[in-house]
Amino acid sequence: MTDGRPDLTTAFECNGYFWLDDDASSVVAGTLRYHPETGSSLELLGRLRPLEIEVSIIELLRGVSSNNEKLTLLNCTLQRTQLQQGLFEIQHFFCEVALVGNFHPEPTLTFQRSGIRFDKLDHWLKTEYVKTKRVPEGDRGRGLGIAVSAGRQGALECERGGYKVHLEAEYSSRADGYNVELNAFTTLYIEPDAPRDLRWFFDEGRSLRDFAALCFGSPLPLRSVKLLGGQVSIADGITTTEVVVAFFVEQAPATPSRASYPLIMFRRFELAAPGVLSAWHEKREQFQEVIDLVFLVLYGHHTRPEVGFLLIMQAFEAFDRKVNPGTLTSPEEFKEVYDAMVGAIPQGTPHDLRQKMKAAIQYANEPSLRKRLKLFYDRLVSLVGPEPYGFKSSSIEPLVQTRNYYTHYPEGLKDKILSPSSTVRETDRFSMLLVVCLLHEMGVTLDQTRNGLFLHYKFRRFMDDKGAPAGPKTPT
């Protein structure tokens, strides 16, 4: 729960009345239900349109709950219709998005700003903003004071994306004569230069969540998304902000139960890399394949150690191809070699074999994994020092042999590959290396992520007790 409202992790249902946006004269009772795993569904006790003009998808549906909450349902797909005791029909819809709040947005679905929460967001602050202090004993005995430092905790601007981001500490409280309930939390606000539509806020919100996941080196499922409109007057001299909370199916996996600390704090960006969001906005597309593969590994979307290892090696090659796009020789020289090798295939060679041989040499101008790893190792040494993050030059050959074995399974390599435990360790090491190198491409230096690595629950084993890159034994 956030600020007293259900969020993407909380199931709820509400009764109300619903109507089409272009026909408020026809109102039908129904029940809106939301579940984190299945999304939003609507059960209507009757038809919104006459039978002869019924459609299977309703793009925009309005409603009001019994608690006077305004409901806006988007892309409602008719699932089934059932007859209730011969009196009326019950229609069941699946709704792509449900907006619940204190106003009905315009059909354009444009908003002034949004606020998102995702797992571990509160840990992006270095200092605690809720503190307790014991009150000295007085006439009424001893006491306990609670102070909340609410308000803006940091801000960044994405010039390329045309928006600003604010991390704000907030709280909600409730008290009576006997009990006090305090809920403190942080929200990441996205404020564009001009009002934007719902899809823009969804896309940028997920993009910022992905950026945060990179900073944490951990999956960060969305917890809530709220969208804010303008200020409206509710009484003389009293105004309130128009706000709706969005409900949809969040596809990200459950976050690991162990605590996760960021590699770099949010406010640190203000001094160390103020343009990081613009860099992320520009380079996210360039490195999208790499980021997706790294997240597959970090999110645990594999059941065997060798699968995670193959994914992270594929991610490494994709990353290296982006930052080092060079080839072994010029395209013109390679074409001469390629044409000569293809021409050397005997004329009577079966078609399938000929095609396989042509495919085998098609990418021969690209550096091998072994060469890529050696160049990557040399670059890390120049930036960090010998044996960066425990990565030794002698470990390159086992990495290559392990990749080759799990790609082709030749019996001759079986005795040269990494053990299962070492495979997991190297998968984690290269996950860490790619995370810090991706951040480095965004303007966050390796030195700025060093202390965060030392505190990270998974990556700290690659750091020594001084917080510098460690050098464990060569994997076997």
pLDDT bin (cut points 50, 70, 90) of residue 3 is very low
Query: Span 390-405, mean pLDDT?
Result: 94
Listed range (24-28, 47-51, 160-164) with the worst mean pLDDT = 47-51
**What is 330-354 written as a DSSP string?**
-HHHHHHHHHHHHHTS-TTS-HHHH
Give pLDDT tens digits for 248-262: 998 755 555 465 789
Q: How many residues does the chain have?
A: 476
Segment 199-224 shows an average pLDDT of 94
Q: Is the pLDDT of residue 325 over 60?
A: yes
Render pLDDT for 334-390 as a digit per residue (tens, 0 to 9): 788 878 888 888 888 888 888 888 887 877 778 899 999 999 999 999 999 999 999
Q: Is the Cβ–Cβ distance between 177 and 122 less than 8 Å?
A: no
Distance CA 153, CA 315 (A): 34
Residue 27: is it exposed, middle or buried by C-beta count within 10 angstroms (0-12/13-18/19+)? Answer: middle
- The whole-number pLDDT of residue 182 equals 78
CB-side neighbour CA atoms (13 Å) of 306: 14
* 8 Å CB contact between 34 and 13: yes
Average pLDDT rounded to a whole number, residues 128-156: 75
Q: Looking at residue 475, what is its pLDDT?
A: 42
Helix or strand or coil: residue 314? helix
Helix, strand, or coil (residue 127): coil
**Which among 232, 220, 146, 231 has a CA at the least distance from the CA of 188?**
220
Flag whether pLDDT at 85 surpasses 90.
no
Q: Please give the pLDDT value at position 67.
A: 93
Q: How far apart are the first and last CA of the chain?
A: 47
Residue 248 has a pLDDT of 95
The one-letter amino acid code at 269 reads: F
Predicted confidence band of residue 2 (pLDDT cuts 50, 70, 90): very low
Going by C-alpha positions, the residue among 170, 262, 188, 200 that lies closest to residue 224 is: 188
Structure letter (DSSP) for residue 298: H
Give the residue with greater pLDDT, 123 vs 126. Answer: 123
| Arithmetic mean of pLDDT, 130-148 | 72
Mean pLDDT of the chain: 87
- What's the number of CA atoms in the CB half-sphere (13 Å) around residue 242? 17
Let me know: does 472 contact 395? Beta carbons within 8 Å.
no
Residue 52 scores a pLDDT above 50 = no
Query: Could you give the angle at the alpha carbon of 460 between the alpha carbons of 257 and 315, nearest 5°?
Result: 85
- Enter the tokens of residue 161: 């994306």
| pLDDT band with cut points at 50, 70 and 90 for residue 239 | confident
Burial (CB count <10 Å: 0-12, 13-18, 19+), residue 285 = exposed
pTM: 0.85
Query: With bands split at pLDDT 50, 70 and 90, how would you rate the model's confidence at 440?
Result: very high
Mean pLDDT throughout 435-455?
93
Measuring CA to CA, which residue among 200, 115, 186, 131 is closest to residue 154? 186
What φ, ψ does residue 196 adopt, rounded to 5°? -125, 165
> Do residues 443 and 253 touch, judged by C-beta distance below 8 A?
no
Q: Could you give the percent of the chain with pLDDT greater than 70?
A: 90
Q: For residues 252 and 8, give the distance between their C-alpha atoms in angstroms, rounded to a whole number.
A: 11
**What amino acid occupies position 337?**
V
Q: Is 410:185 a contact under the CB 8 Å cutoff?
A: no
What is the percent of the chain where pLDDT is above 90? 56
What would the mean pLDDT of 318-326 be, rounded to a whole number?
Answer: 92
429: enclosing H helix or E strand = helix 420-441
Q: Mean pLDDT over residues 285-300, rounded?
A: 92
The whole-number pLDDT of residue 435 equals: 96
Q: What is the model's pLDDT at position 83?
A: 76
Q: Residues with Cβ < 8 Å from 202, sequence gap 6 or more? A: 225, 246
pLDDT band for position 109 (cuts 50, 70, 90)? very high
- Angular region, 218: left φ>0, alpha ψ -120 to 50, beta rest: beta
Element counts in the chain: helices (H) and strands (E): 11, 16
Query: What is the pLDDT, as a whole number, of residue 54?
Result: 65
Average pLDDT in the 83-106 region? Answer: 87
